[in-house]
Amino acid sequence: MERYKGFYIEKPTGNNIFSYEERANKKIYVPELIEADLNAVVVGDEIVFNEIDEDVEIKAKGLKNIVKYNINNKDVYIFDNHNHAFYFWLKSLSKKSFNKGCKLVHVDQHKDMREPEDYDVDILDMDDVFRYTNEVLNVGNFIKPALKHNIFSEAIIIDSSYGFDLDIDGEYVLDIDLDIFSKDMDYIPYETKVSKIKDLIKNTKVITIASSPFFIEQEYAIKVLKELFNYDIIE
């Protein structure tokens, strides 16, 4: 049963908690999951992240759909808000797409290592994982629960020039936030980032990718996404 069918979050939970009381808009959208190629990764019309920044209400539109993309026996999940990675890690683990306790390689402008409100989730029950992902977790606190429940043994965070020089060995799941290509990260050469991420893609079977509409312009994020997979060449 697929749980991601497209729905609104209207209560101050999950990603809808940010500046909830001060905002005019009180709901955000979580898109439907589809299986498709990268042509299906397009910007939608719905507000998926809403926050007040310097007294301005930002109504960020995200992806039209969450897209599951398969390439060379790799499962790639592409979504807007990064907390959805938690659900797709468990979905992949239930299919034995990776071994529990392997490493997580997290490529992101942000560490996303905040503490969640609680760690109360049954990781063997995908209905509960879905609830936890969308009602408790948000874009900044989804990694620590994965470590707490031993989904991963460690998180290797690549968010700096130092990180891009690391050599990663052993089994890992690759988690990418496309905001690593935001203007704030331009001090790391574009080609350095693309080359490293392409190498990381080669050596994993599960990849989760966030487009992070609050932190990077979405059309540009999609352009970078396609380059990471040599999409024009593949197609």
pLDDT average, residue stretch 7-35: 95
Region 125-142 average pLDDT? 98
Q: Is residue 15 a part of any domain in this protein?
A: no
Checking if the pLDDT of 233 tops 60, the result is no
User: Would residue 196 count as lying in a domain?
Assistant: yes
Model confidence pLDDT, tens digit, residues 35-85: 999 999 999 999 999 999 888 999 999 999 999 999 999 999 999 999 999
pLDDT at 231: 77
Whether the pLDDT of residue 234 is over 80: the answer is no
Does the structure show a pLDDT above 90 at 202? Answer: yes
Q: Look at residue 23 and tell me if it is in a domain.
A: no
The 10s digit of each residue's pLDDT in 75-129 is: 999 999 999 999 999 999 999 999 999 999 999 999 999 999 999 999 999 999 9
Q: Tell me what pLDDT residue 232 has.
A: 62
pTM, two decimal places:
0.96
From start to end of 36-165, where are the E strands?
43-53, 56-63, 65-71, 74-79, 102-107, 152-158
pLDDT in tens, 182-195: 999 999 999 999 99
Flag whether pLDDT at 215 surpasses 50: yes
pLDDT band at 235 (very low <50, low <70, confident <90, very high): very low
Give the chain's end-to-end CA distance (angstroms, integer).
Answer: 30
Domain that holds residue 90: 66-234
In a domain, 11, yes or no: no
Whether residue 26 lies inside any domain: the answer is no
Question: How many domains does the chain divide into?
Answer: 1
Q: Where are the beta strands (DSSP E) in 12-167?
A: 28-35, 43-53, 56-63, 65-71, 74-79, 102-107, 152-158
- Distance between CA 194 and CA 184 in Å, rounded? 16
CA dist 207 and 197 (Å) reads 11
Residue 19 lies in a domain: no
Residues of the chain above pLDDT 70, percent: 98
The amino acid sitting at 231 is Y
Residue 14: inside a domain: no
Flag whether 143 is in a domain.
Answer: yes
3-state secondary structure of 50: strand
